[in-house]
Structure 1
């Protein structure tokens, strides 16, 4: 998904917004335990269960980079890994570039990919409930919902507020660069996401100078709020995985800069809240076109956001967030063009009969 889940802001001149600059504080380097020549191993997920271009560049995370034709690389905790698919090959392979334990890296990767959830079973269930979903699923297989570290996900979506993908990515890269350097792949630097303690040492002024604008106070305010939580902010965030969705959303919305839409993104992409529906104008259009046609032309309000979320859950059940993810992806320009080409090929084949 795009998953900034917001329209692009008005264009701003370079003079008004200075380009992002390297962090003022030194970047720490750790002694890397590299694996030497990259060795690729099959992952326990076929292309039906994971299609990389339908998962990584769709706005769930802004920390993974495309480092090959169908290859994406990123860090999961202290592990630097790559995933790739080759044309005509139904398997997904992974490579561990840096880790203290390759086995631990594999387990962390599978957890990050929500590998225990069967996409085939979900897609079958959704397809029975919705003929349109069944048609889309034929061509858009393998779009998974990720299970990210909650702090990492939270900071990313604070950067996404009223922003565009290019600028979100630059902001997230800046924050990421404050963490331990893990290695370089295809010209990209990769870092372990900075700890809450490291983030607390970054001032609002430093972030503003780096081009974060008003989001700077949200990040520093949220970091401060998390540090004040009993037991620590990381434990507090992880505890939200065990709560009901509405309580999770309400808890997240107590943090500076987190509204219902951002909270739903964090809940869906990091907190095991599989029925969370991040509602923006794009999802609103999908809902009024296919689920709530009687509301077409109405103005999206907070009350209607709740109604949209309820409509998705009523239609698709406890994993409604996964269904909405694919429907959202189907509306992205690249996927719409792909679906149109499939449709034209289908029409042409019928004409030839």
Structure 2
């Protein structure tokens, strides 16, 4: 049983694009969106013309957007303003920001699509695992690890593990092998563009993630021409493999949330292009496996520097991947994956992490700059596969 873990060329949209005006600047009273600046235009439609910013009852210490959205869990969010991000959660096109006038800098969301605010709120709560108290976890982690305590004081909290839709998580991480964030985002954008077009915000186009059936219609040649390289065959192969799962791929993936981690990793590794490390990423970021630890060379460096210094100088092997993952669980418990995520973020450069958080929390001002920008950080590096 496997127990080791890993972590545009433009395609025409399937539906005609609808333009959406960017959300307005947030004020203390969370006002309604200003009317369409071109109300008499017959060629433009503002998807956001009748919507308003809505608060989420969570402070920055429970959800920090710069520490959660651009740090390698999902590649579907775009920065559309100062400490403002726009992305798609299910069928909802949403902008998120921190409220400057709030002492706790809580999060507010702006719904661009014609969905109910209550359904969007529920989708966000599920997506960000908001039923889990981050402050309690960080307090527990800080009590057993001085390195984690240092990062906790630097960041001030807020780095959450997301609960993404399993289908989109699988295909995002198929693009991650031996890749960097910038290129992964471009590949994911190609896949997204086969879904329903929801609107444009800040110069970016946004789509509902396509179904497995729609993804299965994409050819390997099409993906190779879009720059996927060898990953093209994995995307095509996985789409077809999921179609053949009992009850369909969506149901099969969702059922993995009820299984033990080892079983989940083994099941995911039956998909083309998915090895133990990618499987652990999918398990952690979409399948409720909170103690999954994706071990790649970056996590290996963290482990040998702070957790297992006796292994420093050794080469990472699948057997040592097991030892690292087990050591994280032994130290941090059933939410070891959440602790590993923060330690991973602590190794990123100032770009989109320390600089972005610097505008949100005073702790970030003390952050040490790293040599490599986030876009250039390889999210996944091969150790006998993916």
Q: TM-score, normalised by structure 2?
A: 0.80
Q: Could you say what secondary structure the match of 1:45 adopts?
A: coil
Between 1:293-302 and 1:331-340, the stretch displaced more is: 331-340
- Structure with the higher helix share, 1 or 2: 1
Query: In structure 1, what is the equivalent of residue 9 of structure 2?
Result: 21
- Describe the superposition over 1:92-114 as per-residue Cα deviations: whole angstroms up to 9, x where unpaired: 11111103322111111110010
Offset at residue 133 of structure 1 (A):
1.2
Q: 2:212, 2:46 → 1: CA distance? A: 24
Q: 2:252, 2:46 → 1: CA distance? A: 31
Query: In structure 2, what is the equivalent of residue 222 of structure 1?
Result: 238
Q: Could you say what secondary structure the match of 2:334 adopts?
A: helix
Query: In structure 2, what is the equivalent of residue 104 of structure 1?
Result: 119
Q: Which runs of 5+ in 1 are unaligned?
A: 7-19, 345-353
Name which of 92, 95, 108 aligns with 1:79: 92
Matching of residue 342 in structure 1 with residue 366 in structure 2: yes
Q: Could you say what secondary structure the match of 1:277 adopts?
A: coil
Query: In structure 2, what is the equivalent of residue 241 of structure 1?
Result: 257
Q: Over the residues paired in the alignment, what is the CA RMSD in angstroms? A: 2.0
Query: In structure 1, what is the equivalent of residue 136 of structure 2?
Result: 121
Q: Could you say what secondary structure the match of 2:69 adopts?
A: coil
Q: 2:213, 2:225 → 1: CA distance? A: 21
- Describe the superposition over 1:129-165 as per-residue Cα deviations: whole angstroms up to 9, x where unpaired: 1122122112211000000000000000001111121
Q: 2:15, 2:334 → 1: CA distance? A: 42
- Describe the superposition over 1:208-266 as per-residue Cα deviations: whole angstroms up to 9, x where unpaired: 11111110100010000000001000000000100001110110011000011111110
- Over 3 Å counting, the alpha-carbon distance change for 1:262 and 1:343 in structure 2 is closer
Aligned residues: 326
Post-superposition, which runs of at least 4 consecutive aligned residues in structure 1 deviate over 3 A?
A: 29-35, 86-89, 335-341
Matching of residue 91 in structure 1 with residue 106 in structure 2: yes
Q: TM-score, normalised by structure 1?
A: 0.88
Query: In structure 1, what is the equivalent of residue 382 of structure 2?
Result: none
Query: In structure 1, what is the equivalent of residue 34 of structure 2?
Result: none
Offset at residue 340 of structure 1 (A):
8.5
Matching of residue 146 in structure 1 with residue 162 in structure 2: yes
| Residue pairs, 1:243-322, within 5 angstroms | 243-322=259-338
Q: Which runs of 5+ in 2 are unaligned?
A: 1-5, 19-44, 369-386
Q: Retained in 1: the 8 A contact 2:200–2:206? A: yes
